[in-house]
């Protein structure tokens, strides 16, 4: 007598995270850490690179933007590709692309060469991040997905802090090329680790139709006991027909997708402006260099804590209560920065709160994106949302520069930061009205009955 089909989502949800799934999560965390490391390292190495390569420092804005544009394009292109060919090998390939062009960065003698290698390195990282977010989510019990996504993405600001520390030691002692050699060798090792240690997405294997044996082997490693040989595992999430990107903009998903993109764009505008422009703006208001550096460090510290917390807040209170509140409170924290420059303690409190609130907002948005799309289009949905966030990172510094060139005062520019925060909050509030829950085809009683056999190997 054959056991009835077992929902793979129910198998994943029924057990707490064990060593096998924590290993998946840890490898993904290390990749996010490298993204943050690279983003911060290029900023700290820029001055030494300018002198060595005889490229004016003013032109390094183009170098930074090239990496961000590459990351945006990588998210646009490689996220949808992962939904069609699988996550594991594409993730490894994206990391190899990043590693290769990081190693080639010291061998780019001219500005066009440097722009090209940084663009291609960004392309690899941009494709890796939405892919690993989708893969880790598909091995995480649904009640924990928000929290684990937030903790995972906390690796980005933490990697930035490590990049700053590494740069401060490596560049003076070994020269700036050593920073990129390190940033290339470590990702190659991570790519090998992905191939050796990460499994393929279970929903992807089931969609392929000939992988019951591989699925049973993975389930056995998750549960620590052999899976029953006669159990047929099924993916009960909504089937995606046709190209995943077209489904993003289908009639039912068009409005939710556009609103989610608006939230990502505005949130990432604020995050990048806080880190890149706050030191210069505060210096323009008479704050000392060391005090301005301390304020930015506190923004980053608050962002690490907020990013790790945001997903858990979404799990606990829901995205439609949590995210608008985070963005409104973030606006109230960042807007007065230009008016409290005479008090370092007030600046420190406002900066830490700003970093925490917008960091929590960013990881909360990622958690919402991961949970908004079925597995067949999850990497596409997360990838395009991340791409809009990257677009915000490119656009934000340009907007602030344009405001300064137009004669806006620094106090007014800080006040204007409330505008993107308010738009992000409004987008999520409207999203609540039009959001379409992914169909799971509602597991039947027979699938629930099959679950003990699927877990126990009986």
pLDDT digits 0-9 by tens, 91-126: 999 999 999 999 999 999 899 999 999 999 999 988
244-434 shares the fold of 6-204+229-235+441-456: yes
pLDDT (0 to 100) of residue 437: 55
pLDDT (0 to 100) of residue 443: 39
Q: Which 3 state secondary structure label does DSSP give 178?
A: helix
Residue 32: Cβ-neighbour burial (10 angstroms; 0-12, 13-18, 19+): buried
pLDDT (0 to 100) of residue 446: 38
Q: Which 3 state secondary structure label does DSSP give 337?
A: helix
Tokens of 32: 């996010």
Alpha-carbon distance of 72 to 92, in angstroms, equals 18
Among candidate residues 33, 168, 52, the one with its CA nearest the CA of residue 105: 52
Alpha-carbon distance of 5 to 188, in angstroms, equals 40
Alpha-carbon distance of 338 to 97, in angstroms, equals 42
Tokens of 359: 């960091």
- Whole-structure pTM value: 0.77
Alpha-carbon distance of 224 to 227, in angstroms, equals 9
Q: Which 3 state secondary structure label does DSSP give 6?
A: strand
Where do the structural domains in the chain lie, given as residue ranges? 6-204+229-235+441-456, 244-434
pLDDT (0 to 100) of residue 239: 59
* Helix boundaries (H) for 277-288: 278-284
Tokens of 454: 């699927």
pLDDT (0 to 100) of residue 169: 84
Instruction: State which fold the 6-204+229-235+441-456 domain adopts.
Output: Growth Hormone; Chain: A; (1.20.1250)
Residue 349: Cβ-neighbour burial (10 angstroms; 0-12, 13-18, 19+): middle
Alpha-carbon distance of 282 to 280, in angstroms, equals 6
Q: Which 3 state secondary structure label does DSSP give 340?
A: coil
Residue pair 205/214 in contact by the 8 Å Cβ criterion = yes
Q: Which 3 state secondary structure label does DSSP give 247?
A: helix
- Which top CATH class is 244-434? mainly alpha
Alpha-carbon distance of 296 to 239, in angstroms, equals 45
pLDDT (0 to 100) of residue 455: 41
pLDDT (0 to 100) of residue 383: 83
pLDDT (0 to 100) of residue 327: 95
pLDDT (0 to 100) of residue 106: 92
Model pLDDT for residues 190-214, shown as the tens digit of each residue: 999 999 889 988 888 887 766 778 8
pLDDT (0 to 100) of residue 238: 57
Spans in the chain with pLDDT lower than 70: 1-4, 58, 209-210, 227-230, 235-246, 435-458
pLDDT (0 to 100) of residue 228: 65
């Amino acid at each position: 007598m054959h056991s009835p089909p077992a929902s793979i989502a129910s198998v994943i949800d029924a057990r707490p995270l064990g060593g096998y799934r924590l290993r998946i999560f840890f490898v993904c965390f290390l990749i996010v850490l490298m993204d943050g490391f690279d983003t911060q390292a290029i900023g700290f190495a820029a001055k030494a690179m300018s002198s060595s390569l005889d490229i004016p420092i003013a032109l390094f804005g183009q170098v930074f933007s090239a990496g961000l544009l590459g990351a945006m394009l990588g998210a646009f292109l490689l996220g949808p590709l992962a939904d069609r060919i699988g996550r594991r090998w594409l993730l490894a390939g994206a990391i190899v692309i990043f590693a290769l062009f990081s190693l080639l960065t010291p061998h780019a003698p001219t500005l066009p060469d440097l722009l090209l290698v940084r663009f291609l390195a960004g392309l690899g990282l941009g494709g890796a991040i939405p892919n690993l977010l989708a893969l880790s989510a598909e091995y995480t019990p649904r009640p924990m997905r928000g929290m684990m996504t937030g903790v995972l993405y906390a690796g980005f600001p933490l990697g930035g802090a490590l990049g700053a520390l590494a740069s401060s030691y490596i560049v003076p002692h070994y020269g700036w090329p050593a920073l990129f050699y390190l940033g290339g060798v470590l990702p190659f090792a991570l790519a090998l680790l992905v191939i050796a240690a990460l499994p393929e997405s279970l929903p992807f294997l089931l969609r392929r139709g000939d992988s019951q044996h591989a699925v049973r082997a993975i389930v056995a490693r998750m549960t620590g006991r052999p899976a029953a040989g006669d159990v047929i595992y099924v993916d009960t999430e909504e089937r995606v027909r046709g190209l995943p990107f077209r489904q993003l903009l289908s009639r039912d998903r068009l409005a939710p997708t556009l609103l989610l993109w608006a939230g990502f764009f505005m949130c990432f505008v604020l995050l990048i402006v806080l880190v890149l422009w706050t030191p210069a703006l505060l210096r323009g208001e008479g704050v000392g260099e060391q005090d301005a550096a301390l304020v930015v460090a506190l923004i980053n510290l608050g962002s690490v804590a907020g990013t790790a917390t945001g997903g858990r807040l979404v799990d606990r209170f829901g995205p439609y209560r949590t995210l608008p509140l985070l963005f409104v409170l973030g606006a109230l924290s960042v807007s007065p920065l230009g008016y409290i420059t005479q008090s370092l303690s007030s600046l420190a409190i406002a900066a830490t709160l700003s970093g925490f609130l917008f960091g929590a907002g960013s990881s909360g948005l990622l958690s919402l994106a991961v949970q908004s799309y079925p597995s067949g289009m999850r990497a596409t949905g997360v990838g395009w949302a991340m791409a809009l966030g990257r677009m915000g990172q490119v656009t934000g510094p340009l907007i602030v520069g344009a405001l300064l060139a137009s004669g806006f005062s620094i106090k007014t520019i800080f006040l204007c930061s409330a505008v993107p925060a308010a738009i992000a909050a409004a987008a999520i509030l409207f999203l609540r009205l039009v959001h379409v829950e992914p169909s799971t085809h509602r597991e039947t009683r027979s699938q629930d009955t099959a679950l003990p056999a699927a877990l126990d190997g009986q």
